[in-house]
Amino acid sequence: MRAVRLCLLILRLGVAICIALGRARRKDWLGALAQTLTGGGDKDGAGAGDDRDDGDGDREDDDLLLRLAALCRGFGAQAVRGDACRGRASRNLAHFLRGRGAAQVLLGIKFNGLIKARAGGGGRGIRKVERVEDAAKAFIEARAEGEAVFGDGECYMEKFVAPAHHVEVQIMADKQGHVFSLGERECSVQRRNQKLIEESPAPCLDGHDDIRARMHKAARDLARAVGYEGAGTIEFLYSDDGNFYFMEMNTRLQVEHPVTEFVTDTDLVKWQLRVAAGQPLPFEREDMPVRNHAMECRINAETPDFLPSCGTVTALRVPGGPRVRWDSAMFTGAKVPPYYDSMLGKLIVCAPTRDGAIRKMRSALGELVIEGVSENSELQLDVLANDEFLSGMYHTDLMGHLYADE
């Protein structure tokens, strides 16, 4: 229960900060926050000290407020007047921070938070924060990367879950209000927060049908609550203690959608277009059953040292066979520039079992030939031979066990 309370407190703090940042100029808001935290601000003193204990509790909270005020100044807050705290968002945030719960969250050695650019994608604009004093630098870096890459520097904060599995639920919804979940995918093989291998069903949920059902229901409920239409993906972080946490929703088809198409025998692209035309989805169950096991490897243009590779494709030979699929626009003579995403194509296989899918993927990777640019099929083969991956109980830090992340 204590962990749940801490998570909720962090979430409330992040939401309050986002609201306040959206309603006031940055320096004014930060200055007002710094002033409020050190005892200035509301003339009526509402909320100040209402929930504090005497003695050590007061000193602990005072230390918290001083630390947070310093943190605000690190963001760029300047000296402020006594009446600088204006606006309901700033006052509510100050009242919340004065509570003992905030002291327990922010004064601990472990902060375990992520600051993320709201427009981010592909692992960009994310910074981990383990200590309060590091939050200012992390925020500045995440904001700068968000502005440079996505043209949007707004950020939010979420709980850092580790070790964790990255599990996402595919949903489809029509204009008639029907929402369906079409299995889930595990995407825990990542490098620099970028997915490399995806598979369905998620091996981490084997033997946990109750958790799988709750995760799928949560995804459908979320889509239904916002009136969503079309194809989308609800992404979760799942921990080994059985808890899962909402991370984000991708309101589109994702790179890895062919994995779901294999295990559900459903053309997601076709049904996305039909839903847009007003047709109802014909599925009989809210949670569509999956059959077999599918896996996808992203083939990226990069060197064995993880450096970008560009040039002209001089030869291309792709694997074939039953339930082997190659999705790509690449051809012999195609030029691979250094300016865009490095993915050259997607190799997808399907087999009756996970072991069978792994064997089929190894064979398909061995048949794939791309010359003229370097690609990462050897890295994919290394992962497919790793004992942790083969066990099915791997986490998002798997690549850190295999390669230096540089």
Q: Which of 23, 252, 291, 317 is catalytic?
A: 252
Instruction: Write the DSSP symbol of residue 287.
Output: B
pLDDT at 155: 87
Instruction: Write the DSSP symbol of residue 215.
Output: H
**SS3 label, residue 110:** coil
Average pLDDT over residues 86-107: 42
Q: Is the pLDDT of residue 40 over 60?
A: no
**SS3 label, residue 137:** helix
Q: Is the pLDDT of residue 282 over 80?
A: yes
Closest-CA residue to 25 (of 66, 76, 71): 76
Closest-CA residue to 301 (of 323, 349, 260, 334): 334
Interval 101-144: pLDDT, tens: 443 334 444 567 888 888 877 678 888 888 777 888 888 898 89
ω before 338 within 30° of 0 (cis)? no
Alpha-helical segments (H) within 38-134: 56-75, 88-97, 100-106
pTM of the shown model: 0.70
Burial (CB count within 10 angstroms: exposed 0-12, middle 13-18, buried 19+), residue 261: buried
The class level of CATH for 2-159 reads: alpha beta
CA separation for the pair 147, 117 (Å, rounded): 9
User: Is 220 annotated as catalytic?
Assistant: no
The more confidently predicted of residues 92 and 150 is: 150
- Within 8 A by CB and 6+ apart from 302, the residues are 308, 309, 342, 374, 375, 376
CA distance from start to end of the chain: 38
Looking at the DSSP assignment, which residues form a beta bridge with residue 345? 299
Q: Is the pLDDT of residue 170 over 80?
A: yes
Instruction: Write the DSSP symbol of residue 126.
Output: E
Q: Is the pLDDT of residue 17 over 60?
A: no
When the pLDDT of each residue in the chain is averaged and rounded to a whole number, the result is 79
Looking at the DSSP assignment, which residues form a beta bridge with residue 200? 294
Looking at the DSSP assignment, which residues form a beta bridge with residue 168? 185, 235
CA separation for the pair 203, 183 (Å, rounded): 12
pLDDT at 110: 54
Interval 287-340: pLDDT, tens: 999 999 999 999 999 998 888 999 999 999 999 999 999 999 999 999 999 888
pLDDT at 353: 98
Percentage above 90 pLDDT, the chain:
54
What are the domain boundaries of the chain?
2-159, 165-402
ω before 337 within 30° of 0 (cis)? no
Rg over CA atoms, the chain: 24
pLDDT at 28: 43
- Conformational region of residue 258, where left means phi above 0, alpha means psi within -120 to 50, and beta covers everything else: alpha
pLDDT at 87: 41
CA separation for the pair 32, 349 (Å, rounded): 56
At the topology level of CATH, where does 165-402 sit?
D-amino Acid Aminotransferase; Chain A, domain 1 (3.30.470)
